[in-house]
Chains A and B, each alone.
Chain A
Amino acid sequence: MNHPLPPETSLEPLAPGLRLPESDRKEFSAEAIAEIQAIMAKYPEKLAATLPALHIAQREFGFVSLAAMKAVAKAIGIPEGHVFGVATFYTMYQKAPVGKYHFSVCTNISCALRGAAQLLEKVCEKTGVKPGAGPSPDGMWSVEEVECLAGCGLAPCIQVNHDVYDELVDEQKLIEVMEACKRGEYRPWAQ
């Protein structure tokens, strides 16, 4: 049978650990270790600190690299394999470098009905990057196609890093957001 391939590249299984992109950084900073220790105190079991620690790792390392996963395992004192399993399960942990401003474009049904596909095309055109294909050469932009961002009433909506949702209907608004990024009005990715 000749089936066309499914459209989504993000469904491809993640390559085994060694083929993941590697980060420059290898260890947590002292502050991050202290932060993780404080988080561990919030829970009755140390394993529960895995998710928050991975968020911290993403902030420190820029993305969740293999070294970041190892550092998390070491900081909490849990098996590296467990951290790898968790990090690859959740989509918000970026397993490859992203730009300083990471655009998440929702293309789910509510947004799609109001032109999310066209918006995604426009975002790609303006930033010059493809969804999920890593940052632009200057390291400024990256684009990702995501599932519902709970901004359905503001559709089509995008998220810039972890901060801002916006009602984005036209090109003009998109240009404004990108200008604001260039001026540094939004928090950059790794902060």
Chain B
Amino acid sequence: MAAIRTKRDPQTYTFPGFGSEKFPNLMLRGAGDLDNWHLKVYEQKHEGYVAMKAALKMEPVAVTEEVKASGIRGRGGAGFPAGLKWSFMPKDTADRKFTRYLVCNGDEGEPGTFKDRVILEYNPHQLIEGMIIAGWAMQCQIGYVYIRGEFLWLIEKLEAALQQARDAGYLGKNILGTGWDFDILVHRGAGAYICGEETALLNSLEGRRGEPRVKPPFPAARGAFGQPTTINNVETLAAVPPILRMGGAEYAKIGTPKNTGTRIFGVSGHIKRPGIYELPLGTPMNFLVEELAGGSSTGKKIKAIIPGGASAPMFDAKDFDCPLDFDVMKSRGSMAGSGGLIVMDEDTCMVQATLRLIRFYAHESCGQCTPCREGCNWLEMILYRIEHGEGRMEDLDLIASLTPRIGLRTLCPLGDAACGPMDSALQKFRHEFEHHITHKTCYTTGSRLLSTVGSH
């Protein structure tokens, strides 16, 4: 067993008032404390496994009802109500012809998102506890945690934490005398962004190429190994113990009525204090960016914010007051996504930034659906041409005619994800693209056009 990393992250986890009633600390308890992955520390300091013991005394249906009452929406990106998702599993739990699976999605690959990593690093037991509760609610037999391949040290840490839980009798046969068997196994990914999509993740779990499946059948009917499966994000499952501890109704009071609870936001880019912040949903974006994260790090004005991981359409200055929740963000033309905010200051060349984002999608497209595979590559080539001073005015119309032919025409949302930043950049910063084409220089810096991102 290799050494478990003991280096502290220089990221910020706390701010004045964090942990009070206004800004409850539910997910980041123990963040920054490197000993917190020990079962003993978690139990003694953070009410560990209290919720699990209470849940195992309840009827499985009652646990699902409690999660439904909390109103928690999936934290992976789509914002689907988690309790509702759980209730899609086949009702007859006595039926042994199925093996029920619970899968935890820890394939965190969205640029700008780094929340799951913090949970796995500092609070793996909260995730394990959440998985046991979810497993009990749906009467699953096996839970798989799919973690991206780059997180090898976190996998080792989680394996060690799981062994502690097994030794304590929280996993394995006949858990705490309930007669229910459940175990959690870790599956390591191998560096494919697309495996964050739930059906692609299932294919990857089954040992295939990570290509999304046709839905329906939905995973709740036929998921991993053809059996009923529920897939939840790391953050969603880690939020389950606090929900059961405080009660669903109480949890629903945090945040706004349709967007309950707290969420972990990651702030990166041109920002003074980049890092992880846990805030109730509905908190205004400029409060997070200006007050907590300290505003721009370069002293220049902030030009654009990508509010929900790279796939979310960009916001320009007029939308910086948008509350961080699922519904308002959608109505303003973006999405809450995975909660990663990428801040860009005035000197950022939007053509370059968009090119970098599109290159990511062109690289990560699994190649299954033609609109995404070809479309993303063409977008990249067109942007590359503009960025290198060989663009033509009709290229902008070409882009505008390309994106509607990618979005909503693919099996999974990766194609749509590429269109989000592309469309919004072209719409909000069209003058920069035009300047590149007509002047052959960069709009923001005035320098001649060439080479790699960040160089001008």
**Given that A109-B356, A117-B452 are known contacts, is A6 also in contact with B384, CB under 8 Å in the complex?**
yes
With both beta carbons as reference points, the residue of chain A lying nearest to B380 in the complex is identified as A6
**Given that A6-B381, A153-B114 are known contacts, is A109 also in contact with B191, CB under 8 Å in the complex?**
no
Instruction: Tally inter-chain residue pairs, CB-CB below 8 A.
Output: 189
Is A50 among interface residues, defined by CB-CB distance under 8 A? Answer: yes
CB <8 Å contact, B110 and A55 = no
A187 to B360, CA, bound (A): 29
Measured between C-beta atoms, what is the minimum distance from B389 to chain A in Å?
Answer: 10
Is A116 among interface residues, defined by CB-CB distance under 8 A? Answer: yes
A118 to B362, CA, bound (A): 23
A159 to B151, CA, bound (A): 10
Is B205 among interface residues, defined by CB-CB distance under 8 A? Answer: yes
Is B168 among interface residues, defined by CB-CB distance under 8 A? Answer: no
Fill in one digit per residue for A1-35: 1 if any B CB lies within 8 Å of its CB, else 0: 00110111011000000000000000000000000
CB <8 Å contact, A154 and B190 = no
With both beta carbons as reference points, the residue of chain A lying nearest to B185 in the complex is identified as A42
CB <8 Å contact, B209 and A6 = no
A115 to B310, CA, bound (A): 18
CB <8 Å contact, B454 and A147 = no
Q: Report chain B residues within 8 Å CB of A7.
A: 359, 384, 452
CB <8 Å contact, A93 and B10 = no
CB <8 Å contact, A48 and B112 = no
**Given that A110-B111, A110-B112, A113-B342 are known contacts, is A4 also in contact with B388, CB under 8 Å in the complex?**
yes
CB <8 Å contact, A90 and B210 = yes
Partner-contacting stretch, out of B22-30, B51-59, B266-274, B327-335: B266-274
Is A125 among interface residues, defined by CB-CB distance under 8 A? Answer: no
Q: Report chain B residues within 8 Å CB of A3.
A: 381, 385
CB <8 Å contact, A44 and B99 = yes
Is B217 among interface residues, defined by CB-CB distance under 8 A? Answer: no
A43 to B150, CA, bound (A): 22
Q: Report chain B residues within 8 Å CB of A43.
A: 207, 225
CB <8 Å contact, B190 and A109 = no
With both beta carbons as reference points, the residue of chain A lying nearest to B153 in the complex is identified as A163
Measured between C-beta atoms, what is the minimum distance from A126 to chain B in Å?
Answer: 18
Is B276 among interface residues, defined by CB-CB distance under 8 A? Answer: yes
Q: Report chain A residues within 8 Å CB of B342.
A: 109-110, 113, 152
CB <8 Å contact, A147 and B363 = yes
**Which range holds the interface residue count of chain A?**
35 or more
A70 to B96, CA, bound (A): 37
A155 to B185, CA, bound (A): 31
A41 to B85, CA, bound (A): 29
CB <8 Å contact, A55 and B112 = no
Chain B residues 183 to 213 lying within 8 A of chain A, measured CB to CB, are 185, 187-193, 204-210
Fill in one digit per residue for B344-380: 1 if any A CB lies within 8 Å of its CB, else 0: 1000100011001101101110100000000001001
* Contact partner, B363, options A11, A52, A55, A110, Cβ 8 Å: A11
* Contact partner, B190, options A45, A91, A112, Cβ 8 Å: A91
CB <8 Å contact, B454 and A117 = yes
Fill in one digit per residue for A77-114: 1 if any B CB lies within 8 Å of its CB, else 0: 00000100110011111000000000010011110111
Fill in one digit per residue for B151-173: 1 if any A CB lies within 8 Å of its CB, else 0: 11100000000000000000000
Q: Report chain B residues within 8 Å CB of A150.
A: 108-109, 113-114, 116-117, 148, 150-151
Measured between C-beta atoms, what is the minimum distance from A12 to chain B in Å?
Answer: 12
Measured between C-beta atoms, what is the minimum distance from A92 to chain B in Å?
Answer: 3
A91 to B193, CA, bound (A): 10
With both beta carbons as reference points, the residue of chain A lying nearest to B116 in the complex is identified as A150
Q: Report chain A residues within 8 Å CB of B256.
A: none
CB <8 Å contact, B150 and A149 = yes
Measured between C-beta atoms, what is the minimum distance from A177 to chain B in Å?
Answer: 12
CB <8 Å contact, A55 and B268 = no
CB <8 Å contact, B209 and A152 = no
Is A182 among interface residues, defined by CB-CB distance under 8 A? Answer: no
Q: Report chain B residues within 8 Å CB of A174.
A: none
Q: Report chain A residues within 8 Å CB of B113.
A: 148, 150, 152
Is A51 among interface residues, defined by CB-CB distance under 8 A? Answer: yes
CB <8 Å contact, A4 and B353 = no
Q: Which residues of B contact A (CB under 8 A)?
A: 2, 5, 7, 9-11, 99, 108-114, 116-117, 148-153, 185, 187-193, 204-210, 225, 266-270, 274-276, 306, 310, 340, 342, 344, 348, 352-353, 356-357, 359-360, 362-364, 366, 377, 380-381, 384-385, 388, 390, 452-455
Contacts A90-B149, A91-B192, A113-B454 known; 19 new A-B pairs at CB < 8 A: A3-B381, A7-B359, A44-B99, A90-B189, A91-B190, A109-B111, A109-B310, A110-B111, A110-B269, A116-B454, A147-B111, A150-B108, A150-B116, A150-B151, A152-B266, A152-B268, A153-B9, A163-B5, A167-B10
Minimum-distance CB pairs A-B, first 10 = A92-B191, A90-B190, A50-B207, A152-B268, A162-B152, A117-B454, A110-B268, A148-B111, A47-B207, A89-B209
